[in-house]
């Protein structure tokens, strides 16, 4: 008898209590902080001049009022309400309208240090009264103080400063508002006073750095009490739609893998990929030396997407948009109609216009705004100018992961430095080939005084693909792929291939003529044999007829002789009988 199996009790995971958070409305920042800023607590945003502190604070307030029904109060100590309203109107923020709707209160507090002397009686009670009234007037849930330095400038007494800072932060907590306070960066500490980070529940550091004459803004959550958060530096951009943060280093490999296939727009290239093209959402690398046709393939890929009714983004770092449209028209690719229909956007810029991560944030914003099905980057190697290869590879890895998360089919072109020989080592120049789902390699083949293009599929994950080299031909009617000729150990392309085709065609014609001549000879022999057979058959029939006639004559002769003999015998018998009767009488 088997013993009864007793199941062990299941372990119960401890319930995780999360800290209440107030969403900022800035998607990237909410992802980094796993939900937003600590609700009902103060947050310090510090950094140098021009790093975006005021913009982050203002957007936190505006999005709270417009998206989360949380009115806010903005207390400023430097610019007045009119200046602030004018400064942010270009970003789409209408502070006048929000003020009239009782969603935001803008209050400029002017502090003249000459009006008071430094005494122990200095405190913030007046500010508390003014701020409390503003909060109560609209039922504010969010508060911004911009900046602390303007509030405490001219107050060197650190004892009073520390006491008032603690009092300010405690007052904000007691009111239950989510506060965001900005502070200037100090020389040897995060802020000038070096005290704010110790009394704030969350500290966000903004940085504006310049390397190689290229500026980059980055954000880091230095401290966040009571919750987990992203610890890395993240690039951010102040663009047309406000403050944008891309949590590029927090992306996971959990993207959706589509089984749908999309055409490359080149039928014979589709044939090399199992007849259906690439998987939707995959990343495709097209690499080759200068002039091999990389941009032409990406442009045709984009055009094919637009012809299917899909949206496409083309990021170009070598030519202007009009130059691309003009040049592609010469090979039968017309992009202008799709630009006019709004299915295609071409963003052309010099790679030195922004830092790498700024380029990445711009791409992220454009993708989020335009919602494309296809993205082309031509070429990624231009981003490597005067930059560390590892930094470029990390940036491209983040871009690839982001596009995969959005299920966007992406095609990247890359300039290689390999030779023209088909046996030259493959090199993707920036070392991202391992991140790609498919890799098309283009080469220039030089032979007999001319250069021609070849293409083959180096890899295509999950897709049956041809390992044959094809000649890549650009004509005024479009892109075509033709089979190459292999002469001993050399691949023949261009005029050598055409000559070989002509020789092969002439040899085929000669073989056909020889075959036709032999067929005529055989037909003639067959006819002669058939004629001889007919003659022999006629002779045999004549001989057979003659034989039958002879036999018939012989039979007739024999029958006639037999009848004659019978007649003679009969006659002889009759004579004998008549002569014997008279003798009997005598």
The residues annotated with a catalytic role in the active site are 78, 318
Q: Which two tokens stand for residue 272?
A: 């090399």
Residue 538, burial from CB neighbour count under 10 angstroms (0-12, 13-18, 19+): exposed
Instruction: Provide the Cα torsion 538, 540, 546, 551; round to 10°.
Output: -150
Question: Of 388, 387, 367, 385, which Cα lies nearest the Cα of 376?
Answer: 367
The Cα-based distances of 119 to 115, 161, 193, 196 in angstroms read 12, 12, 19, 22
- What is the Cα–Cα distance from 72 to 203, expressed in whole angstroms? 20
Helix (H, G, I), strand (E, B) or coil at 266: coil
Cα gap 426→417, rounded to integer Å: 9
DSSP string of 439-470? Answer: EEEEEEEEETTEEEEEEEEEEETTS------E
CB atoms within 10 A of CB 564: 10
Other Cβ atoms within 10 Å of 502 Cβ, number: 10
Cα separation, 158 vs 155, whole angstroms: 8
Spell out where 99-141 has E strands. 104-108
Give dist(CA 458, CA 558) in Å, integer.
Answer: 100
Q: Which residues have CB under 8 Å from 245's CB, separation 6+?
A: 26, 27, 28, 29, 32, 219, 234, 235, 236, 361
Contact 363, 399 (CB under 8 A): yes
Listed in order, strand segments (DSSP E) in 273-339 are 278-279, 283-288, 312-316
DSSP state of 164: H
Q: Collapse the DSSP code of 396 into the 3-class scheme (helix H, G, I; strand E, B; otherwise coil) and give the result.
A: helix
Q: Which two tokens stand for residue 577?
A: 């009988």
Identify the sign of the CA torsion 266, 269, 271, 274: negative
């Amino acid at each position: 008898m088997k013993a009864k199996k007793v199941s062990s009790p299941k372990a119960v995971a401890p319930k995780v209590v999360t800290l209440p958070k107030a969403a900022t409305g800035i998607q990237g920042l909410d992802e980094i902080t796993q939900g937003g800023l600590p609700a009902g607590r103060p947050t310090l945003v510090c950094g140098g001049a021009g790093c975006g502190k005021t913009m982050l604070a203002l957007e936190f307030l505006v999005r709270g009022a417009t998206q989360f029904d949380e009115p806010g109060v903005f207390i400023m100590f430097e610019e007045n309400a009119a200046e602030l309203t004018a400064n942010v109107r270009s970003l789409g923020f209408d502070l006048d309208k929000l003020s009239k709707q009782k969603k935001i209160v803008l209050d400029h507090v002017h502090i003249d240090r000459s009006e008071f002397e430094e005494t122990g009686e200095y405190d913030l009670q007046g500010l508390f009264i003014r701020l409390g009234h503003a909060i109560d007037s609209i039922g504010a849930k969010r508060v911004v103080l911009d900046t602390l330095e303007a509030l405490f400038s001219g107050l060197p007494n650190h004892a009073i400063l520390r006491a008032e800072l603690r009092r300010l932060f405690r007052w904000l907590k007691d009111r239950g508002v989510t506060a965001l306070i900005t502070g200037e960066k100090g020389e040897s500490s995060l802020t000038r006073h070096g005290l704010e980070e110790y009394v704030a529940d969350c500290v966000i550091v903004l940085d504006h750095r310049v390397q190689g004459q290229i500026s980059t803004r980055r954000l880091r959550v230095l401290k966040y009490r009571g919750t987990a958060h992203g610890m890395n530096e993240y690039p951010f951009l102040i663009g047309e739609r406000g403050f944008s943060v891309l949590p590029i280093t927090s992306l996971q490999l959990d993207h959706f893998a589509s089984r749908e296939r999309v055409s490359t727009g080149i039928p014979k290239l589709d044939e090399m990929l199992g007849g259906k093209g690439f998987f939707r959402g995959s990343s495709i690398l097209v690499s080759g030396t200068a002039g091999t046709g990389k941009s032409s393939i990406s442009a045709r890929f984009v055009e094919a997407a637009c012809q299917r009714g899909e949206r496409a983004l083309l990021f170009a770092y070598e030519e202007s948009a009009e130059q691309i449209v003009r040049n592609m028209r010469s090979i039968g690719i017309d992009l202008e109609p799709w630009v006019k229909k709004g299915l295609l956007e071409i963003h052309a810029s010099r790679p030195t216009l922004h830092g790498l991560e700024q380029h990445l944030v711009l791409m992220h914003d454009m993708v989020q705004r335009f919602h494309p099905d296809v993205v082309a980057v031509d070429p990624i190697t231009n981003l490597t100018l005067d930059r560390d290869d590892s930094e470029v590879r990390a940036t491209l890895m983040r871009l690839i992961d982001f596009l995969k998360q959005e299920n966007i089919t992406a095609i990247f072109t890359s300039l290689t430095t390999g030779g023209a020989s088909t046996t030259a080592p493959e090199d993707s120049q920036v070392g991202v080939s391992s991140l790609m789902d498919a890799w098309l390699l283009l080469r220039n083949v030089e032979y007999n005084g001319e250069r021609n293009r070849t293409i083959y599929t180096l890899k295509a994950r999950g897709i049956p693909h041809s390992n044959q080299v094809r000649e890549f031909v650009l004509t005024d009617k479009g892109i075509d792929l033709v089979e190459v000729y292999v002469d001993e150990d050399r691949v023949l392309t261009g005029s050598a291939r055409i000559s070989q085709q002509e020789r092969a065609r002439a040899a085929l014609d000669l073989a056909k003529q020889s075959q036709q001549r032999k067929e005529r000879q055989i037909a003639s022999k067959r006819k002669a044999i058939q004629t001889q057979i007919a003659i022999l058959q006629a002779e045999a029939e004549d001989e057979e007829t003659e034989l039958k006639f002879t036999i018939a004559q012989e039979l007739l002769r024999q029958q006639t002789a037999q009848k004659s003999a019978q007649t003679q015998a009969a006659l002889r018998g009759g004579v004998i009988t008549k002569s014997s009767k008279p003798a009997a009488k005598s």
